[in-house]
Copies of this chain bind each other. A is one copy, B any other.
């Protein structure tokens, strides 16, 4: 079986949603902990205007600190929304660039200030610039499975965006379920269509657990050839520009599930659980992760 890639997005997708700005030192400690747990990629932050999203104002500084003398094999990714963000990211040491456009016109207008077509074109431009700079790039379709404002999103629109990415030479594609509307049959259908389009694509998914289907969708995606999964420690997360926001599937729950299936057993689950508990203690509220509350099953309990 292909190796399952774990992409931790909590420091970006989770912390951008929190009213409270997390001190730089705290963030750095969490990210170093995540890197130490053995997850493959950690998304350190996004490059947005510090006045718009003050929670992400320290992204450049975080990258500088984390890449200085770095020995960990964990890749540090950054989310960029435009060429300006890309330039900031290139300057501070981003190791992998994530960028995307929304398949929902309304979500795109609210989130990026322009429609889907224009946003896709600009993202392709930025992605090609990152590729030219020698950086791995993942491009995504946000709201790929439905939108809190628009409702159902035509699959043809998602496929059209993916075709544009592929035509531009981009091969690492993520479908994000920003609003949490995805259901397993839809996940299998849409990723199946992507594989039919181009079997060599490297596929990633990102599911919010708004309606309780996050983990079921992850398993549906795994059956559909998706090999990379974006999750958030403690189940943090949400998008400020959706109607009903909810967290991502918790990284430690996903790792626990994978280890139940005999996969990724070298990842340090105990460390992930300790980090998730520290995040909950920091914010002083219950967070969605399950295994952080129950504790993991012991090895003798595996079947």
- Interface code A266-303, partner B: CB below 8 Å = 1, 0 otherwise? 00000000000000000000000111001111101111
Q: Smallest Cβ distance from A107 to chain B, in angstroms?
A: 13
Q: Which residue of B lies closest to A246 (CB)?
A: B294
**For chain A, what secondary structure do more than half of its interface residues adopt (helix, strand, loop), or is it mixed?**
loop
Q: Smallest Cβ distance from A148 to chain B, in angstroms?
A: 8
Bound-state Cα–Cα, A145 to B302, Å: 10
Q: Which of B151, B216, B297, B303 contacts A219 (CB 8 A)?
A: B216
The reply to whether the CB of A226 lies closer than 8 angstroms to some CB of chain B is: no
Given contacts A151-B298, A183-B257, A219-B220, contact A209 B303 (CB under 8 A): no
**CB contact list, A130-177 vs B, under 8 A:** 145-146, 151-153, 155
Q: Are A211 and B297 in contact (CB under 8 A)?
A: yes
A residues contacting the other copy or chain, number (CB 8 A) = 42
The reply to whether the CB of A218 lies closer than 8 angstroms to some CB of chain B is: yes
**CB contact list, A238-274 vs B, under 8 A:** 244, 246, 249-250, 253, 256-257, 260-261
Bound-state Cα–Cα, A117 to B138, Å: 55
The reply to whether the CB of A27 lies closer than 8 angstroms to some CB of chain B is: no
Q: Are A257 and B216 in contact (CB under 8 A)?
A: yes
State the number of copies, please: 2
The reply to whether the CB of A212 lies closer than 8 angstroms to some CB of chain B is: yes
Bound-state Cα–Cα, A107 to B151, Å: 47
Q: Are B211 and A291 in contact (CB under 8 A)?
A: yes
The reply to whether the CB of A202 lies closer than 8 angstroms to some CB of chain B is: no
- Interface code A208-242, partner B: CB below 8 Å = 1, 0 otherwise? 01111101101110000000000000000000000
Q: Which residue of B lies closest to A155 (CB)?
A: B303
Q: Are B213 and A261 in contact (CB under 8 A)?
A: no
Q: A146 to chain B: which residues have CB within 8 Å? A: 297, 301, 303
The 3 A-B residue pairs with the shortest CB-CB distance, nearest first, are A212-B290, A183-B260, A151-B301
* Chain A residues engaging chain B, CB cutoff 8 angstroms: 145-146, 151-153, 155, 181, 183-186, 209-213, 215-216, 218-220, 244, 246, 249-250, 253, 256-257, 260-261, 289-291, 294-298, 300-303
Q: What would 6 more interface pairs be, CB under 8 Å, given A155-B303, A211-B296?
A: A151-B301, A152-B300, A152-B303, A183-B261, A215-B215, A246-B294
